[in-house]
Amino acid sequence: MKSYKGRGIVLHTLKYGDSSMVVFLLTDVGGRRSYMVQGVRSTRGRGSKLALFQPMFALEFEGLESPHRQMDRFREVRSGIVLRTLPFDVRKSTVALFMAEVLYRLVKESEPNEGLFEFVWSCVSALDAMEEGVANFHLWFLARLSRFLGFFPGNDYHDGDWFDIREGLYTKTPARSVLMMREENARTLHHLMGCDVDRLGDIALNRTRRVDFLNAMLDYYGYHLDAISAVQSVRILQEVF
């Protein structure tokens, strides 16, 4: 079996049999890939590896490519980023669950996408390190992710603009017949697209505004990618934030 080294972000896991699991990763070497991990639920030997495969955990690994195009396996796997807060902060772990599910539902390509991967990898580090602005992180993530999925805003924002979801353009003249983000949400989208992650605490949104903008972004994503409707962690996210 051919071996290769890579980095990956955990998107989803499925139990397989009594002691094994299938792990879906976003990888730097091959986009989205699935791996069979045997004995991970065992109380002996490699049972402790289960802790590695949590949503949005970053891994470094040596993979084994199956000659029969079945799921790959790990020869070695270890943590790629030492996480100091994300596993223990319910707000951050909720955001991580949402991010992982969004990526799992929307990213299907099995080809390398360096820009997307490096963005997601950096998001893990940023979320773990941040002290202020956690409540806005998922909104910033959705706004920035749209750039890598091909439907980010295509023109400059001006004060008072609405946002045409279908065309992906800011506009002064909202059309009644198409999906639009009203002025407040268009302004928030503009701010998030241009905001550095360490300044998210400066964007003042209350709970009502945050939920309203999230729903607007889900409409935006839903118009371009139907799979967003399958994301179940939205409800948990709205309860926490």
User: How do residues 118-158 score in pLDDT, each as one tens digit?
Assistant: 999 999 999 999 999 999 999 999 999 999 999 999 999 99
Instruction: Please name the residues in contact with 3: beta carbons below 8 A apart, sequence gap of 6 or more.
Output: 62, 63, 64, 65, 75
Model pLDDT, residue 157: 97
- Inter-residue contact 212 to 238 (CB < 8 Å): no
Clarify whether residues 158 and 236 are in a common domain: yes
Which of 150, 163, 143 shows the shortest CA–CA distance to 218? 143
**Residue 57 counted as domain residue:** yes
Model pLDDT, residue 42: 59
Apex CA 144: angle with CA 56 and CA 171, to 5°?
A: 150
Residue 164, number of CB atoms within 10 A of its CB: 21
**Residue 93 counted as domain residue:** no
Q: Give the sheet arrangement for strand 169-171, strand by strand.
A: 169-171, 162-164, 180-181
Clarify whether residues 164 and 68 are in a common domain: no
**Residue 74 counted as domain residue:** yes
Model pLDDT, residue 69: 63
Instruction: Please name the residues in contact with 31: beta carbons below 8 A apart, sequence gap of 6 or more.
Output: 107, 109, 110, 111, 112, 113
Give the CATH number for residue 53: 2.40.50.140
Model pLDDT, residue 44: 58
Total domains in the fold of the chain: 2
- Distance CA(107)–CA(101), nearest Å, equals 10
> Which pTM was predicted?
0.93
Please identify, among 79, 108, 140, the residue that sits at the C-terminal boundary of a domain. Answer: 79
The H or E element that residue 135 is part of is helix 134-149
**Residue 117 counted as domain residue:** no
Which residues of the chain form beta strands (DSSP E)? Answer: 2-16, 20-27, 31-37, 58-65, 72-79, 162-164, 169-171, 180-181
Please report where in the chains the tokens 């139907």 appear, as a residue: 226
Residue-wise pLDDT for 187-236, tens only, equals 999 999 999 999 999 999 999 999 999 999 999 999 999 999 999 999 89
Clarify whether residues 136 and 234 are in a common domain: yes
Clarify whether residues 232 and 141 are in a common domain: yes
Which of 180, 169, 10, 15 shows the shortest CA–CA distance to 80? 10
Domain that holds residue 198: 130-240
What band does 28 get if pLDDT is binned at 50, 70 and 90?
Answer: very high
Q: Does residue 66 register a pLDDT over 90?
A: no
The residue length of the chain stands at: 241
Clarify whether residues 54 and 142 are in a common domain: no
Please identify, among 79, 97, 122, the residue that sits at the C-terminal boundary of a domain. Answer: 79
Please identify, among 49, 79, 109, the residue that sits at the C-terminal boundary of a domain. Answer: 79
